[in-house]
Amino acid sequence: MYEKIANPWLPAWIPDTGHALRHAGIHFDAVRMKGAQAERTVAELLLRTQFDAGPIIRELTGERYLYFLLPPQTAVLHRWPSGVRTFTRAVGYSAYVGVPALTGVTWPLEWRSMPTEEVPFVEGELLREVVGRMSEVAR
């Protein structure tokens, strides 16, 4: 059955196949991290949310960044530690994030945690708390 008919709650920003660039700040804000801090953050978020953390995308090439997708225009509400970059919409600034389809070949992107109807985005305050704690552990 066609995925979007079977799951009408699916956000329009998720492509049907492959992957696509989406405008940050319109569809979602993104918080980008890499390395051990990012992996520890994902693990902690998944444990704290019973494995329903919301959308988290991993790049499989290059720096292997992880993107935590928050509701649009909310990443700026939090102070993020060094090494964390936010992507949102601002005057004179555009940012795009690659988003994989839910199924099929999506290389070089994959879902580390998929959005669900109940949790369509990562909860910003929880992410900020976990990132802060993981930053302290890294010191």
Q: What is the pLDDT of residues 28-83, one digit of tens each?
A: 999 999 998 899 999 999 999 999 999 999 999 999 999 999 999 999 999 999 88
The vertex-121 CA angle with 29 and 116, nearest 5°, equals: 145
pTM for this entry:
0.92
Give every CB contact of residue 15 below 8 A, 6+ residues apart in sequence: 99, 100, 101
